[in-house]
Amino acid sequence: MKLAPSILSADFTHLAKALEQCDEGGAHYIHVDVMDNQFVPNLTMGPPVVKSLRRITDKFLDVHMMVIDPEKLVEPFARAGADGITFHVEATDNPQNVINLIKDTGKDVGISLKPNTSIADIEPYLDQVDLVLVMSVEPGFGGQGYIAEATKRIADIKQLLIEQRLQDKVKIEVDGGIKLHNAKEVLDAGADILVAGSEIFKADDPVHVMKSFYTLVDE
Ligand code: DX5
Ligand code: ZN
């Protein structure tokens, strides 16, 4: 299991502290939630923030683009220092083009689907991506509740990857409402990477919560 804390739930006046906590907590990824107030009804952060984060961390910057016209933001995020760029299959009429654009930057390619989007919509691209980001909340905000139906969707996508012999190449990342109490269920369904925002950064001791996620797996 790898943990990807979402800094959307961190204190934006102390992002460097949040990253220090991620170091102490042993997090593998930093999940950067990009929202444009078009694809989702919220506006968060863009390439300048990624550029600043890049200066102070070597961790994998996992950029989650919840934006329309993702084509337009691939190059700016790659230049800013993103390591992985994930777009939403619903946000473009040409997912293949977005995949090609991200591949051309040399960054990891992620494709994401909202809770009500058919898995069939991403199936044609599974052999071209590094990561499938399964949304377990309606994208747009941190602090929402886990959508229980996501568990079966994770298992179905895992099954698809196994059938296509892609399970070692393509990771499943799950995003939204992930807590210590439901992480095991999500991992058992086939998740490789867990995104957690409010569970970590709204806690009194974010480092302890991150370490607790990792001990879950050892149990
Ligand atoms: C929602 C974002 C998620 C969210 C996770 O649109 O993509 O990454 O910030 O936050 P929690 O873990 O609080 O649901
Ligand atoms: Zn996210």
Tens of pLDDT, residue by residue over 10-36, are 999 999 999 999 999 999 999 999 999
CA of residue 79 to ligand 1 center, whole Å: 24
Mind listing the pLDDT tens digit for each residue in 129-139?
Answer: 999 999 999 99
- For residues 3 and 21, give the distance between their C-alpha atoms in angstroms, rounded to a whole number: 13
Confidence of residue 216 (pLDDT cuts 50, 70, 90): confident
Residue 218 reports pLDDT greater than 80: no
Kind plus residue range of the DSSP H or E element containing 144: none
How many angstroms does the Cα of residue 100 sit away from the middle of ligand 1? Answer: 26
Residue 127 appears among annotated catalytic residues: no
- Average pLDDT rounded to a whole number, residues 204-213: 98
Report yes or no: 172 and 193 within 8 Å, Cβ to Cβ: yes
Question: Which residues have CB less than 5 Å away from ligand 2 (the ion)?
Answer: 33, 64, 175
Give the pTM: 0.98
pLDDT above 80 for 160: yes
Judge whether 175 counts as a catalytic residue. Answer: yes
First to last CA, the chain: 12
86-117 burial code (b ≥16 CB/10 A, e <16): bbbbbbbeebeebbebbbeeebbbbbbbbeeb
In the structure encoding, which two tokens stand for residue 95, read together?
A: 């997912």
Q: Which of 11, 121, 175, 192 is catalytic?
A: 175
Taking alpha carbons only, the member of 112, 181, 196 closest to residue 148 is 181
Q: Summarize the confidence of residues 148-163 as an average pLDDT.
A: 98
Q: Is residue 82 within 8 Å of residue 50, measured between CB atoms?
A: yes
Rounded CA-CA distance 121/110 in Å is 14
Query: Of the listed 33, 36, 62, 83, which one is catalytic?
Result: 33
Q: Give the tokens for residue 139.
A: 């994208």
Kindly list the protein residues whose Cβ atom lies closer than 6 A to any atom of ligand 1. Answer: 6, 8-9, 31, 33, 64, 66, 137, 139-140, 142-144, 175-178, 195-199
Residue pair 35/140 in contact by the 8 Å Cβ criterion: yes
